[in-house]
């Protein structure tokens, strides 16, 4: 895969008279997609696809085009050259961009992370064995994903990771199901079997009569997946430098010193440990990590090149939205085996959905519980609860309301596959919170 990319780059990224820079951004994947229903295969697909984005720059003008590639190097070079020539022809018609910024230093990077991925047959066999007799409904996506960047100055960047993501529900009846997920770079059938077994136990609990809770404040445990959902929502405007400068950041109270996270909270854009590439489509290279919250206090922001130009500061590899792509929350001291005991009496939340802000300035979020959420008494799961809506400030939940975080954070990849598999992820521990506010 990489020799093919290098061949394209050498052919396309050549100096052109009257053009300051030519760049190529390469995106490819070879993926297995498998859908399950009743623990049997409903659909199995193998996808191999490649795309090339060519960009030409002259002065403050830039034009970019993206085409699908065939994998035939000679044919793809001709297609990309035709696209490059068309962009050069159109470039005088493009308006100047006052905030256009391109990297000045040449910063090559390389990452080729081989994993241990299962074949499609291994995934099917594992589901057949460990989910036998259940109505498992799920979606598996796995395989190598590649990204590459090259420009006419000689910069070359390469990123290839092998990863998988398997999400499934064990469906019981009506609106009752237990949602689970298993993701990573090294498949372990024993770990997958343990997750299915835990889901089987919770499905049995769903047969008990539901306990209806009154609106109010409760002691709550959030699973790592639920915490990742909350942090994913926080990413919508919580960490961007421009959002802070314009006063619309959802963490603006923390930036102004009016609120703070609990001292045990540390948040990092952890590119080195994530699965997203270390470089952007325009060639800017990201640092290994960017501290966002340290020991409960704001430690930094994500700064895109355009924002850096506009506000006279230093870019740190952020994308144009200034949203994290490899957000990681550090774990705490709570052992996973002690979660129910530490919760005592309260609510166990496995999954959330429909999350959004109800008050951005206060970092207040609203949403609903979803699959397999339970009432807990004296450290024991007692009864399932119906779907409930909540409305609470994340700064309060992970500030004065935070009791503890679990020891081992879990990688929760973005499961989106629109056009191609996405490489964003959130790594999060479970969280024990006091005074969580259910509204109905």
Confidence of residue 99 (pLDDT cuts 50, 70, 90): confident
Please give the Cα distance from 108 to 361 (Å, whole number): 40
In the predicted structure, residue 377 carries a pLDDT above the cut 90: yes
Parse the chain into domains and list their residue ranges: 2-205, 216-438
Both tokens assigned to 53:
């984005």
Q: Is 18 left (phi over 0), alpha (psi -120 to 50) or beta?
A: left
Query: In this structure, is the dihedral angle defined by the CA atoms of residues 6, 9, 11 and 13, taken in order, positive or negative?
Result: negative
**pLDDT one-digit tens code per residue, 227-286:** 999 999 999 999 999 999 999 999 999 999 999 999 999 999 999 999 999 999 999 999
Q: 2-205 has which CATH code?
A: 3.30.2290.10
Direct distance between the N- and C-terminal alpha carbons of the chain, in angstroms, rounded to an integer = 53
H or E element that contains 213: none
Count of positions (residues) in the chain: 440
| Cβ pair 340, 380 in contact under 8 A | yes
Greatest C-alpha distance within the chain: 75
**pLDDT one-digit tens code per residue, 363-373:** 999 999 999 99
Q: How far is CA 318 from CA 27, 134, 242, 272, in A?
A: 19, 43, 11, 14
Q: State residue 175's pLDDT score.
A: 86
b/e for 61-83, b at 16 or more Cβ within 10 A?
bbbbbeeebeeeeeebbebbeeb
Q: Which residues, other chains included, contact 339 with Cβ-Cβ below 8 Å and sequence gap of 6+?
A: 221, 406, 430, 432
H or E element that contains 313: none
**DSSP per-residue letters across 141-189:** EEEEEEEEEEETTS-EEEEEEEEEEEEEEEEEETTEEEEEEEEESB--H
In the predicted structure, residue 207 carries a pLDDT above the cut 90: yes
The per-residue pLDDT of the chain, averaged, comes to 96
In the predicted structure, residue 182 carries a pLDDT above the cut 90: yes
In the predicted structure, residue 439 carries a pLDDT above the cut 90: yes
| Backbone φ and ψ of 214, nearest 5° | -80, 150
Q: Is 349 left (phi over 0), alpha (psi -120 to 50) or beta?
A: beta
Task: Give, as one character, the DSSP assignment of residue 199.
Answer: H
Q: What is the mean pLDDT of residues 335-357?
A: 97
Q: State residue 416's pLDDT score.
A: 87
| Cβ pair 310, 342 in contact under 8 A | no
Please give the Cα distance from 41 to 34 (Å, whole number): 7
Q: What is the mean pLDDT of residues 75-91?
A: 98
| Cβ pair 226, 352 in contact under 8 A | yes
């Amino acid at each position: 895969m990489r020799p093919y990319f290098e061949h394209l780059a050498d052919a396309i990224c050549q100096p052109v008279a009257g053009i300051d820079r030519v760049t190529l951004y390469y995106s490819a994947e070879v993926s297995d997609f498998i859908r399950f229903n009743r623990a049997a295969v409903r659909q199995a697909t193998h996808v191999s696809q490649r795309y090339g984005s060519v960009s030409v720059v002259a002065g403050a003008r830039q034009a970019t085009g993206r085409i699908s590639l065939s994998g035939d190097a000679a044919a793809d070079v001709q297609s990309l050259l035709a696209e490059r020539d068309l962009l050069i022809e159109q470039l005088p018609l493009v308006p100047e961009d006052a905030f256009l910024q391109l990297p000045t230093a040449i910063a090559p990077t390389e990452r080729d992370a081989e994993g241990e991925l299962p074949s499609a047959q291994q995934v099917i066999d594992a589901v057949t064995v460990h989910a036998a007799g259940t109505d498992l409904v799920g979606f598996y996506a796995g395989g190598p994903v590649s990204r590459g960047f090259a420009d006419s100055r000689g910069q070359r960047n390469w990123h290839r990771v092998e990863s998988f993501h398997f999400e499934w529900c064990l469906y019981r009846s009506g609106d009752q199901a237990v949602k689970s997920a298993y993701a990573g770079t090294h498949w372990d059938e024993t770990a997958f079997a343990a997750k299915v077994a835990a889901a089987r136990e919770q499905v049995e609990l769903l047969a008990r009569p539901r306990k209806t809770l009154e609106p109010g404040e409760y002691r709550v445990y959030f699973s790592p997946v639920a915490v990742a959902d909350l942090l994913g929502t926080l990413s919508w405007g919580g960490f961007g430098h421009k959002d802070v400068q314009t006063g619309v950041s959802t963490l603006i109270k923390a930036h102004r010193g009016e609120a703070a996270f609990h001292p045990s909270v540390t948040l990092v854009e952890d590119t080195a440990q994530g699965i997203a590439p270390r470089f952007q489509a325009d060639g800017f290279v990201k640092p290994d990590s960017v501290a966002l919250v340290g020991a409960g206090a704001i430690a930094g922001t994500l700064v895109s090149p355009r924002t850096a130009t506009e506000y006279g500061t230093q870019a740190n590899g952020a994308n144009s939205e200034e949203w994290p792509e490899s957000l990681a929350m550090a774990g705490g001291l709570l052992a996973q085996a002690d979660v129910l005991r530490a919760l005592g009496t309260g609510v166990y939340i496995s999954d959330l959905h429909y999350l959004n802000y109800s008050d951005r300035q206060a970092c207040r979020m609203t949403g609903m519980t979803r699959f397999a959420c339970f009432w807990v008494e004296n450290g024991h799961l007692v009864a399932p609860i119906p779907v409930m809506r909540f409305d609470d400030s994340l700064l309060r939940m992970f500030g004065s309301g935070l009791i503890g975080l679990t020891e081992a954070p879990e990688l929760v990849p973005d499961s989106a596959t629109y056009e191609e598999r996405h490489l964003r992820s959130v790594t999060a521990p479970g969280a024990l919170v006091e005074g969580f506010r259910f509204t109905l």
